[in-house]
Structure 1
C-alpha cells in the first residue's frame, strides 16, 4: 500500500483540524502515517482521538522552539523515518514541523512535499524580527516545497513572491472548513446550560474559544469588562493554557470574579449556542476555525482587525477592533449588548456568509490538490 506522512509539531493538530484530509487520503487508497511529538498533545490532555482512525503513529521529539538541540534530534528522527518507509507524499503543518519535514524530505529525496501554512509568523503589524527570522526561513524552505497551501488572502499574496521548487505551486484554500449544518441544527436546552453555570436568562453572554495563551489576547477583553461596570454581562473563556493562572489573578485584581468564568478545555459547541456575542481578540490568526464555528451558530462577532479575521468578518456581521484597543472593545460590547435587533441582523448575515467555508467545499479543493500532487 502506498503511504503518506503527515507531520506536525504537536500531536493534537491532526485530530483537531485534519481528519477530513486523513479521510480523503484513506479513500484514495493511501496508508496515513503521522509524525509528531505525542508527549505534548495540545487540544486536550491525551492522544485518544487518534485511536481507531487507522493512522500509524511515529514519535518525533519536536520542541516548540528552534533554539534547542532537540531540533537536531527531531530532524535526524524524521530523516530516519523517511529513509525507512519511502513515503509517496509528505504533508506537513506548523512552522517547526514544516521546516524540518521539508529539510528531511530534501535530504532523503522524498517527494512530493505539501506544506500547509496556517498563518505565517510574519504579517502586517508583526515585530521586525518576525520578518528577519520567519520570512527568511519560509523563503528558504519554499525551494524544497512542491505545493504551498495558504488559508487567507494576506498569506497567499506573500507566498506568491517565494521562489518555489521547480514546477511548485501556491494554492489558496480558505481554512480547514467546518460542518456548517452540524452547528446550525444542534438542539440544546439553553436554560439548563445557563442554570448550570449560574447565569440568568437576562444576562448577556460573551464567549471566547481558544488556548489561554498570549496570542489569543483574552487579557484585552478582561480589561474591557472592567470598564463596562455592568452586572448583566458575563465573559466565558473555553480553553486552557499557560496564562490561565495569570488571567485568573488579573480577574481577581479587577474584581471580576463573577463576570469572567474560565471553563477549561471543553467541547465548545454548547457554549456557542448559549452565548449572545462571540469575542475573538487574537494578535495573530491564519483563518480561525473557532471564528467560523461561531458564525455557523449565528453569533455576532467582535474580533481583532487582523489577517484571517478580515477574511471572515465585516461590518455587517460584527465589529473589527485594533488588537489592544481596550476602550473600543468595551464600546463594541456595549453597542451589541444594547441592541438585540443589530445582533439579529448580524446573525442572519453570518449564517449566510459562512456557507462558503463549509467543509464540503474545502474537501473538494484538497482532493484536487492531492490528485494533482500524485500525478
Structure 2
C-alpha cells in the first residue's frame, strides 16, 4: 500500500504522526509526505522517517493565494502518485487536499481526514458554527473516513456527517520520548537551573499565542507566591505574545518568579522536575503536553475546553477551571502544591489509552491492517 500524508506544515507530521508511519511501515507500506517545509523554525525536528517528502506551500490562512499554488502542485503529485490512501490533516491542509484528490478518489484512492479538533464545539462562538460547520459538513462528502480524537467531535460527526467516522485516542503520546529521572538526577537538574529542592515548580508548555492564554498563568502567580512563596513558573515556547507576556510579568513584579524558556528541546527534563502542569488555552484538540505530563505522573490544572476535559478527571487527576479566572487557577494550583495527594498512579492509569502503544492498534484498525 502506498500512502500520502498531507498537512499545512511538515512539523505537524513530525510531531503527531510518527506512530501512524510506524504502523504503516510495519505492514510494508510506502509513505510520502506533502506539506510546507517549516522545520528550520523547529529546532530538533526531522522528517527523516518517510520515503519521500514534497515541499508544498500551504498557508493556514484561507485567504492566501499560496493555497491555490499548493492545490496545483499537490494535484500533480496525487495524479502521478498512484496512492492507495491519501490521509490529510489540519484545516487548510484538509480542504486543499480533498479538492486536489477528487479525481484520484473517483479512481479508487481512499481519502482519510483526521480532525484534530473542530473549530465548532460546545461553547464555541456562533461565527465558528456558521463558518466552519458547513465547510466540514460539505467536505465530509469528499472523505471516506473521518478520524476524530475527542468524543465530543466523534458524536457530532457520527450524527451529522455523511461519511464513515472513527474515534481514536489522539495521535499517540510517545512513550519512548518520555524517560523518568531518578531523584538524584532531578536534584542535579534543579541545582543547575537555580531551583532548590524545596521550590515548587509550575510548568506551562505551548506556543506563545493568544489562544494559549499564558497571561492567565502569569496573573495566577501573583496569588500563588503569596500562599507558596518558594514557587516558580516556567513557560516553554515561542510566539507573538512574548513581548506582551514580558510586559505583564514586569508590571506584576514577577521577574524572579517566572522564566520564559523560549523553544526548548529539554521538555522531558522540566516535566520530570515540575510539581504541576498548568494549561490555560481557550481551545485544544487533544494536547500532547498534558499526556506527557501524565506519563511523568504529574497533576494538571487546565482550562475548561474539549481537549482538556477529555484528559483531565476534574478533582481526581487535577482540576478543570475557567480559562479567564486567574484566581481559580491559583486556588487549585495551591491546593495541589500544599496538599499531600499522590497523583502518580492516577495520572498513569488515565493516560494509558492515549499512548502510542494503544493508538497504533487503533490506527491499524482504521487502516484495516495488522497492529
TM-score by length of 1: 0.92
> Which residue is 1:317 aligned to?
317
Match of 2:62 among 63, 66, 71: 66
Name the residue aligned to 1:201: 197
Q: Equivalents in 1 of 2:58, 2:181: separation in Å?
A: 38
Task: Specify the SS of the correspondent of 2:35.
Answer: strand
Cα distance change on mapping 1:142 and 1:42 into 2, 3 Å: farther
Question: Which residue of structure 2 aligns with residue 162 of structure 1?
Answer: 160
Matching residue of 2:326? 326
Structure 2: how far apart are the matches of 1:372 and 1:348? 33
Mean alpha-carbon deviation: is it higher for 349-358 or for 12-21? 349-358
Alignment partners' CA distance in 2, 1:282 and 1:227: 20
Sort the Cα spacing of 1:133 and 1:115 in 2 relative to 1 into closer, same or farther, 3 A: same
Once the 2 structures are TM-superposed, how far is the Cα of residue 317 of structure 1 from its aligned partner?
Answer: 0.7
Superposed, 1:340-359 pairs within 5 Å as: 341-342=340-341, 344=342, 346-359=343-356
Number of equivalenced pairs: 363
Please tell me whether the aligned partners of residues 236 and 264 of structure 2 are also in contact (alpha carbons under 8 angstroms).
Answer: yes
Q: 1:253: Cα distance to partner? A: 1.7
Measure, in 2, the Cα distance between the counterparts of 1:105 and 1:179.
Answer: 31
2:235 is the alignment partner of 1:237: yes
CA contact 2:200–2:231 (8 Å) conserved in 1: yes
The CA distance in 2 between the partners of 1:254 and 1:121, in whole Å, is 33
Question: How big is each residue's C-alpha offset from its partner over 1:301-352, in whole Å with a ceiling of 9 and x where there is no partner?
Answer: 100121021121111111110111111011112211211x12x1x3321122
Matches within 5 A, 1:70-85: 70-85=66-81
> Shift in Å at residue 107 of structure 1?
3.7
C-alpha displacement of 1:152: 0.8
1:178 aligns to 2:176 (yes or no): no
Structure 1 alignment gaps of length 5 or more:
none
Structure 1 residue 220: deviation in Å?
Answer: 0.6
RMSD: 1.9
Partner of residue 370, structure 1: 367
Q: Is the 8 A contact 1:118 1:286 kept in 2?
A: yes
TM-score normalised to the size of structure 2? 0.93
Residues 88 and 114 in structure 2, CA contact (< 8 A), matched pair in contact too: yes
Match of 1:235, SS state, is strand
Greater shift, 3-12 or 99-108, is seen at 99-108
The answer (yes or no) to whether the contact 2:179–2:268 under 8 Å persists in 1 is no
